[in-house]
Amino acid sequence: MKNLRDFSHKDLLELMKEFGEKPYRAEQIFRWVFQRRAASIDQMTDISKAFRERLKEEYSIAGNRVLDVRRSSDGTRKFLSELEDSSRIESVLIAEGDRLTLCVSSQAGCAMGCKFCMTGMGGFTRNLTLAELAGQVFSAFELLEGEERVTNVVLMGMGEPLANYDNVLKFTNVLTSGMGFNFSRNKVTLSTAGLVPAIRRFGQEGDVNLAVSLNATTDEVRDRIMPVNRKYPIEELMAELRRYPLKSRKYITIEYVLIGGLNDTDEDARRLARLLRAIPCKVNLIPFNEFPGSPFKGPAPERVERFHYIVKQSGYTVIVRLSKGGEIQAACGQLRGAYEG
């Protein structure tokens, strides 16, 4: 059985052609699946019974199976989902003021191998399908039971989103489509470790916010903690970001995990400010959280303060991410750093 949640609107247009159906059927089905959250083809009552029966011979609607939900006292909820092949992925709901952000995984595992990240140390299994990406949104909706609303979505969980380019692009389109989940483009952010050619492509084809996980100001240090830097070194990445086609009043988020004694010196802060020149950006500083087996340590509080001060003095908007969900162990290094204490 094929899952209708795996079909973008464009895919459905193709499918309707194969069925010899009118193009407007594609929109009807797309809306049923993503906007009206139909759980079965039988619910699509404005589609003739005869066509529904034909569809049901090969197609169905299926979701991820949520195995476990953990809540922490600050309102953060992490849920673990099992996929058809028994791969497991994690998604997190983070409450911050009047925002409720859903952090989704883009791959089962991750091949990027960032040394400060638990997921990176565990290796890569496979890319997630559109249905599995969207399935995390559906699961969050079910978990919230209509009582709270997800306001933001970040692709910052397990995996490198731009390494699963096609499915992730379809997913961001479903997120922002008025016929789909209907999130504003400004409320969706994709975070990458720095795959330069894919960033260039996404600049042309994508229309949601971009965040880049930088985490070092010299190639020597970045090579050590992010193997992707050996392929796409800092200057190449910065050059790409300077060229990135931002719409007016938009900016790139630069994520910087502060690791004690490694990348948190005054000189690093000054170098970071120089590197980011001519890039419209905001900087998120994320004090590293130690985890079992990690070779690194968190920064001293006064280093965080000083680093923040220097970058801010250079004219950037800088935020130190608040600790969130400390009791429940979220998945990705970025996520752990961004939201855990």
Which residue in 103, 110, 114, 332 is the catalytic one? Answer: 332
269 binds ligand SF4 (CB under 6 A): no
Q: Which is nearer to ligand SF4, 28 or 289 (CB)?
A: 289
94 near ligand SF4 (CB under 6 A): no
If one asks whether residue 193 binds ligand SF4 (CB under 6 A), the answer comes out as yes
User: How do strand 281-287 and strand 209-213 relate by DSSP bridges?
Assistant: unpaired
Q: Does 110 bind ligand SF4 (CB under 6 A)?
A: yes
Determine if 286 is a binding residue for ligand SF4 (CB under 6 A).
Answer: no
Is 6 within 8 Å of 130 (Cβ atoms)?
yes
> Rounded to the nearest 10 degrees, what angle do helices 165-176 and 196-205 cross at?
30
**16 makes contact with ligand SF4 (CB under 6 A):** no
Smallest gap from Cβ 257 to ligand SF4, in A, equals: 8
- Which of 6, 21, 132, 160 forms a contact with ligand SF4 (CB under 6 A)? 160
Shortest spacing between CB 114 and ligand SF4, in angstroms? 3
Is 21 marked active-site?
A: no
Answer yes or no whether residue 283 interacts with ligand SF4 by CB under 6 A.
no
Tell me how long the chain is: 341
- CB closer to ligand SF4 out of 113 and 203: 113
> Which one, of 83, 207, 76, 70, lies nearest residue 136 by Cα?
83
Considering only the stretches 19-27, 125-133, 156-164, 241-249, report the one whose residues sit in contact with ligand SF4 under the rule CB under 6 A.
Answer: 156-164
**What tokens does 92 get?**
């997190």
Rounded Cα–Cα distance for residues 306 and 265 (Å): 9
Q: Which of 21, 90, 255, 340 is catalytic?
A: 90
Q: Residue 158, interface with ligand SF4 (CB under 6 A)?
A: yes
Piece of 4-12, 96-104, 110-118, 242-250 that binds ligand SF4 (CB under 6 A): 110-118
DSSP, collapsed to helix, strand or coil, labels residue 162 as: helix
Helix (H, G, I), strand (E, B) or coil at 66: strand
- Between 226 and 318, name the residue whose CB sits nearer to ligand SF4: 226
Per CB under 6 A, does 119 bind ligand SF4? yes
Nearer to ligand SF4 (CB atom), residue 8 or residue 253: 253
Q: Does 6 bind ligand SF4 (CB under 6 A)?
A: no
Dihedral of CA 143/146/149/155: which sign?
Answer: positive
Which residues, 6+ apart, have CB-to-CB distance to 106 below 8 Å? 127, 128, 133, 155, 157, 158, 159, 160, 161, 163, 164, 167, 168
125 part of the interface to ligand SF4, by CB under 6 A: no
Query: 3-state DSSP call for residue 35?
Result: helix
Number of CB atoms found within 10 A of residue 322's CB: 11
Q: How far is the CB of 193 from ligand SF4 (least distance, A)?
A: 4
Task: Report if residue 135 touches ligand SF4, rule: CB under 6 A.
Answer: no
Counting contacts by CB under 6 A, is residue 106 touching ligand SF4? Answer: no
What DSSP character marks residue 198? H
Contact 337, 115 (CB under 8 A): no
How far does CA 330 lie from the centroid of its chain?
13
112 near ligand SF4 (CB under 6 A): yes
Rg of the chain on CA atoms, in Å: 21
Q: What tokens were used for 200?
A: 């260039």
**212 contributes a contact to ligand SF4 by CB under 6 A:** no
Asked about 332 being catalytic, the answer comes back as: yes
Residue ranges binding ligand SF4 (CB under 6 A)? 110, 112-114, 117, 119-120, 158-160, 193, 332-334
What positions carry a catalytic annotation?
A: 90, 332
